[in-house]
Amino acid sequence: MKAVLAGRGDFSTEGLCRSILERHRDMIRVQKPHVAVAKLARIVETILKLSNRQGFHATSLREISAESGVSMGGLYSYFDSKDTLLLMILGEVSAATTSVLEGAPGDVAADPARHLRWLIAAHVALTEAMLPWFVFAFLEAKSFPPAGRRAAVESEEATEAIFRGAIERGARQGCYAVEDPAFAAGLIKPLLQDWYVKRAKWRRRGITADEYAARVQAFVERALGADPAGPAKGGTAAR
Amino acid sequence: MKAVLAGRGDFSTEGLCRSILERHRDMIRVQKPHVAVAKLARIVETILKLSNRQGFHATSLREISAESGVSMGGLYSYFDSKDTLLLMILGEVSAATTSVLEGAPGDVAADPARHLRWLIAAHVALTEAMLPWFVFAFLEAKSFPPAGRRAAVESEEATEAIFRGAIERGARQGCYAVEDPAFAAGLIKPLLQDWYVKRAKWRRRGITADEYAARVQAFVERALGADPAGPAKGGTAAR
DNA sequence: TAAAAAAACGAGCGCTCGCTCTATTTTATG
DNA sequence: CATAAAATAGAGCGAGCGCTCGTTTTTTTA
């Protein structure tokens, strides 16, 4: 499963928090990086856990403090308001998404059909690797500060544009028989979001990430009117 | 657009609040129905407006009171806690969904392909008629009381089962070439949810409800491998 | 129109929230 | 080991929360 993402970044909590630290060095008052990263990781892990259970707004800083073992005052060495904490996490999610989806290997990107299949597999793999982050972003982005809303919308448009690009090139080359690539791209996003938003449903049915990616690939290709003769070799592009 | 829903219920705020009143007669302390319905409508309208902008949790009862013109004490003649208010709205959404989707005309339900097209058109039309209700349910159902969570999951499963039924019958009759009807049904739901969840996006692109329904019908039928010769007459089933 | 019933009101209660600030402990330095 | 600097602690602040309840206003009834 992880194969698609191999060597494309560190998606562990620590790795992602290192990136958060870099991005917010000026605000975070703790100097030593290894201390800051370790503590940030405990804070972020806690808030993802509690928020995904009961909502960000319903999660108090006192709860986060108690669960993470970082004092109230200590928390405020890492952010200047609860909203900032939210934006830190949202920013990391959208940065990771863009950086991964824009990084298809050259030979893959050269073939639109392969590219689209790769994008689907990479998206599923990424949301799998950063599951709680994506769930959090999805649940909280809409009901919060204007900055967060705008960022979320832009990030989603960027993702969709990448999908649209592949479909448009495929249509031009004749491997898809689709009248409106933009519309089709708009429908792919929700299909990929369902994997992490309704995770419980798919797990209950015993669907793995690889299976999900493969089936969505097949579903989308048929809907796009893919040349049945075209994608002869290997569907998944993942494992 | 409304044609699919014609005569299938009253989806105005007042009509829906009449139904809420019936369902919660024992808790609502105001006796005269026309007074209660009118005031409930103002309360519900206000909470949908404010919650869809800033989230239910972030909307205080004082705000609701000020915006709706109903005093704090007055509000509590209609519910016994803020959570109950949430559940009242969620309940109404899932009741309307089930009742509409289970009510396909006999001749439509007899033909699986027509039935599936009708289900898609009816779902889009219903979410259009009850837009703020569905947005509210989608945004708030997950991060709230266990009762609400369970109800939301069950309601969604019921909807999906109706779609699955049509696909399975279609597959058995040979008008779809699909290997796993349950999986396909699971993918249709998010496509339909995107219409109201990402409403701004589709509006920006100038897509109307009718167009959306028609295109999703086409997208899904191709993905299901619909017999190209089969659905010769009229695609939309709506207008 | 006077008495009774129903509905509406809104200040106030106890509590928890996000956030601050000083005192204390821990770590690094010479 | 003494001293300076960095990091942590957690009680306390004012604001705002959900909710209650005695009072006032409106409506119905006779």
Question: pLDDT digits over A3-32, tens only?
Answer: 899 989 999 999 999 999 999 999 999 999
Going by the DSSP 8-state scheme, the letter that residue B92 receives in this structure is H
Contact, B123 vs B188, CB < 8 A? no
Tokens of B90: 């969620």
For residue A151, what pLDDT is reported? Answer: 86
**How far is it, in rounded angstroms, from Cα B27 to Cα B39?**
15
Residue B63 Cβ under 7 A from any strand D atom: yes
For A111, A230, A234, B117, the CA distances from A173, given in Å and listed in that order, are: 10, 11, 20, 31
Question: pLDDT digits over B173-209, tens only?
Answer: 999 999 999 999 999 999 999 999 999 999 999 999 9
List chain A residues with CB under 8 Å of B184.
Answer: 219
**Is A198 exposed, middle or buried (CB count within 10 Å of its CB: 0-12, 13-18, 19+)?**
middle
Residue B32 Cβ under 7 A from any strand C atom: yes
Yes or no, beta carbons of B202 and A186 under 8 Å apart? yes
Q: Three-state DSSP class for B229? A: coil
Question: pLDDT digits over A175-217, tens only?
Answer: 999 999 999 999 999 999 999 999 999 999 999 999 999 999 9
CA of A71 to C1' of D10 (A): 7
Amino acid at A175: C
Q: Is A14 on the interface with B (CB under 8 A)?
A: no
Tokens of A109: 């990107």
Tokens of A188: 């792919």
Question: pLDDT digits over A146-185, tens only?
Answer: 888 888 899 999 999 999 999 999 999 999 999 999 999 9
Residues in CB range of A202: below 8 A, 6 or more apart: A194, A195, A212, B186
Helices B209-223, A209-223: crossing angle, 10 deg rounding: 110
Q: What value does the mean pLDDT take over residues A31-35?
A: 92
**Mean pLDDT taken over chain A:** 92
Indicate whether A230 pLDDT > 80.
no
Residue A82 Cβ under 7 A from any strand D atom: no
**Residue B235 pLDDT class (50, 70, 90 cuts):** very low
Question: pLDDT digits over B146-170, tens only?
Answer: 888 888 899 999 999 999 999 999 9
Q: Is B80 on the interface with A (CB under 8 A)?
A: no
A interface mutation test: which of B183, B211, B216 has the most A CBs within 10 A? B183
Contact, B104 vs B110, CB < 8 A? no
Instruction: Please report the residues numbered 51 through 70 in chain B whose beta carbons come closer than 8 angstroms to any beta carbon of chain A.
Output: 54-55, 57-58
**Residue A79 pLDDT class (50, 70, 90 cuts):** very high
For residue B208, what pLDDT is reported? Answer: 98
Alpha helices (runs of H) in B55-145, residue ranges in sequence order: 61-68, 72-75, 82-101, 106-110, 112-129, 131-140
Yes or no, beta carbons of A139 and B144 under 8 Å apart? no
- The pTM of the full predicted model, rounded to 2 decimals, is 0.93
For residue B1, what pLDDT is reported? Answer: 60
For residue A97, what pLDDT is reported? Answer: 97
